[in-house]
Amino acid sequence: MSQQAPGPVQHKRSPREQARTAGMVVLAVLITLFAVLNVESVEVNWIFGKGEVPLIIVIVISLLVGIVLTYLVDRRPSRRR
């Protein structure tokens, strides 16, 4: 009698996890559309000087800064009373 090797473990996602995943996909699509539709050059005042860059670059940089800040805040140990 031969034994079959166990297949990959199926992890069923809860409705909350499914809704969160769907929400993140919708948000990613909206952000992508917003960025792609805004490709005109704009004048940006950087910390040291100013210059013209495509608006899509400003949007992507802002998004990345937001992601990094969110990651850093989430990693901060919380104080429990």
Q: Find, among 4, 24, 5, the residue nearest to 13 by Cα.
A: 24
Number of domains in the chain: 1
Give the structural domain span for 65: 39-81
pTM tops 0.75: no
Integer Cα distance of 31 and 11 in angstroms: 29
pLDDT score for 7: 60
Regions of the chain where pLDDT drops below 50? 81
H-helix or E-strand spanning residue 27: helix 15-37
Q: Is residue 64 part of a domain?
A: yes
What is the phi/psi pair of residue 4, to 5°?
Answer: -85, 140
Q: Is residue 57 part of a domain?
A: yes
